[in-house]
Amino acid sequence: MRTKTEQLLELWVEARTRFSNQLAGLTEDDLTKKLGNSPNSVGFLIRHIGDVELLFAKNVFGDASVSVRAKTVIDQADSGEWTDLEELKAYVSESFEKLKAIVEKQSEEDWEETITTKEFGTKTKAESFGRIVSHTAYHAGQMSIIKKYGTN
């Protein structure tokens, strides 16, 4: 029988494919695309997903080895600087690996531990993990629409 950690990890990895599968087909030209007057480009959204994954690894799951300057979260606006595709791919590869590594260390009991963050209040780690699953899928959907219909 698979543990809760294994099950939740499988769920996240599968849900994240909505994002990760898009990365292979992106071009640097896609990174600056926006949809109408929307504030965020594809490049910003990629960086934002990485920033939030690293914040989860550090703040939700307690990985003290993670150092993150979540510029997209701090600025809350697209500065237009997220235009290096290989750099962005490397960043989200690292964020995925960091979050995955700390999640793999969670015991059955850890998932019931409550944590409090300013972003979403007090929740169990399991409930909090649902936030990262939905967060990535939400922004992956935005990326897909922007890539298809957006302009530079």
Q: Which residues of 71-97 are buried (b: 16+ CB within 10 A; e: fewer)?
A: ebeeeeebeeebeebeebbebbeebbe
State mean pLDDT over 52-77.
92
Could you tell me the pTM of the whole model? 0.94
Report pLDDT digits (tens) over 6-46. 999 999 999 999 999 999 999 999 999 999 988 999 999 99
Give φ, ψ of 79 to 5 degrees: -90, -5
Q: What tokens appear for 137 in the block? A: 């899928």
Contact 89, 37 (CB under 8 A): no
Share of the chain above pLDDT 70, in %: 100
Name all domains of the chain by residue range, CATH numbers in brackets.
39-149 (1.20.120.450)
Residue 55 and residue 59: Cα distance in Å, rounded?
6
What's residue 82's pLDDT? 95
What's residue 135's pLDDT? 95
